[in-house]
Amino acid sequence: MSPPRKRVKTSEDGSSSPSRSGPDTLVNGSVGKYSKSITHGATAQDKATWQGFCDIESEPALLNVMLREWGVRSARVREIFSLDDLGAEYSPKHVFGLVFCYQYFEPDYGMHEKSCPEHIWFANQLSTSSCATVTMLNILNNVPGLVLGENLQSFKDFTRTFEPFPRGEALAEFEFVKRIHNSFATRSDMMNFDLQMKGSFDTAMKAKAQQARREAQQAKQKARTGKTSTPRKKKKRKADDESDAEAAFHYQAFLPIGNELWKLDGMDYYPEKLGTFEEGQDWTEVFRPLLEERILLLSEQYGAEVNLMCLHKDEAAELREHLAQNIVSIRAADARLDTLQPDWRNFLEEDPGLIVGPNTDLGIDEDYLAKIKVPLPVQHRIDEDSPTMLIDFRTRLVDKQKAIDQSVLQVATADERQESEHARDSRSDYRSFHYQYLVELANAGCLRDVAEDVRAAKEAKGK
């Protein structure tokens, strides 16, 4: 399955707000009436204080950057093209969940629970375009023993007893998550979202006013005749081809919880149980026929684009943590030996390849090491052993470091750097550059012919 590779929309109609400028805006260089907020890109302060949620591309690299910045350890997102690929590369117990992205115009007739089971952490999606964040958190918060980071763990603990709706409200107001999510926002995203919200509010107010007028008219009619009119049933409007093309994209989570397979969709009131599997059975095999049926329905009947990603255990991250624990343990042993026997290094032939500090090629810096604690059993040996015994123990720590496959870390670190560079590009708002470039073209008279060609083409099409 090829990814949609577009910003994932989750508004009700998935449409973009119309531009308020036309070809004439820049033809004569008339730019003075447009404010700086329109002509300049979004600043970090703009993004941090904005109350909406921006669209995010269905791109694993961006989601992985979000995971790292949230503080989640040992979890990565990867695109997969079939469950055969998934089973060949990962043990089922290392796959936390699957993320299914599709065009959101399919009615859902699943058998949902009448309430949220206590053992499931599930939040409703209450903010437009927040489905990527909601879906990932709905998976992460149901993985036993996963290190979420201080902020996410505190949020999980705080909302543990919440129902899905108030949990979704709390998530929509969670500034830590929102700030990282909206770091990918552009000025256009923010303006379109705000216009959509204004349009939704105006529509709701108009409907409320119309309802009030109908009720007033019915009350007058009843006072006159003693009868009330029966409202006609509204026909459901069928979406046209154009609106189908602009249909919203949406994420759903499929994951094992205990020995049960669940669908967690923030747009549903409650989770949906899909089936069960035996202990030791590959849960993705249980999901396979459901996935194939879903893809067939969406692609053949609706012509929808679909994308499948998996959230899995990041073995490189665990390997990095083990190496970091080894480094801080050797440091602690060295410090203790310096106190007990200052000349202890004279009795050892030091390995030039030994890592006792930061190493950028392996993704380990001083800040990372500062967060790593010496394991308690190791610390006990360091505190209690005699100098001779501690030197021998240190030698074993060095041997353990040599056994760690550092080439895996080097590849993983290079991948993470590429992801970070991609995220930096995605977070850049080039609106100011593009606008100024058009201004220069307009001042040079280069856009007049383009505008005339556009007008001529429209007139010819109209005839």
Chain CA centroid to CA 30, Å: 40
H helices present in 226-256, as ranges: 241-245
Report the chain's terminal Cα–Cα distance, integer Å: 41
Distance (Å, rounded) from C-alpha 222 to C-alpha 228? Answer: 5
H helices present in 248-314, as ranges: 283-296
The burial class, CB within 10 Å (0-12 / 13-18 / 19+), for 346 is exposed
Rg (C-alpha) for the chain, rounded Å, is 29
Collapsing DSSP states into helix, strand and coil, what is residue 364? strand
Distance (Å, rounded) from C-alpha 452 to C-alpha 327? Answer: 68
Contact 416, 68 (CB under 8 A): yes
Collapsing DSSP states into helix, strand and coil, what is residue 327? helix
CB atoms within 10 A of CB 152: 21
Q: Which of 131, 181, 310, 312 is catalytic?
A: 131
Candidates 234, 246, 173; CA nearest to 12 is 246
Contact 37, 92 (CB under 8 A): no
- Residue 181 designated active-site: no
Q: Token pair 């949990």 is at which residue?
A: 167
Work out the angle at residue 397's Cα, subtended by the Cα atoms of residues 392 and 401, and round it to the nearest 5 degrees.
145
Q: Which of 101, 181, 250, 312 is catalytic?
A: 250
Work out the angle at residue 66's Cα, subtended by the Cα atoms of residues 321 and 318, and round it to the nearest 5 degrees.
15
CB atoms within 10 A of CB 321: 17
- Distant-in-sequence, close-in-space partners of 11: CB < 8 Å, separation ≥ 6: 128, 129, 196, 248
Candidates 204, 199, 218, 149; CA nearest to 177 is 149
Candidates 385, 410, 278; CA nearest to 329 is 385
* Cα–Cα distance list, 174 to 156, 164, 167, 180, 342 (Å): 11, 15, 10, 11, 51
- Residue 131 designated active-site: yes
Q: Which residues are catalytic?
A: 131, 250
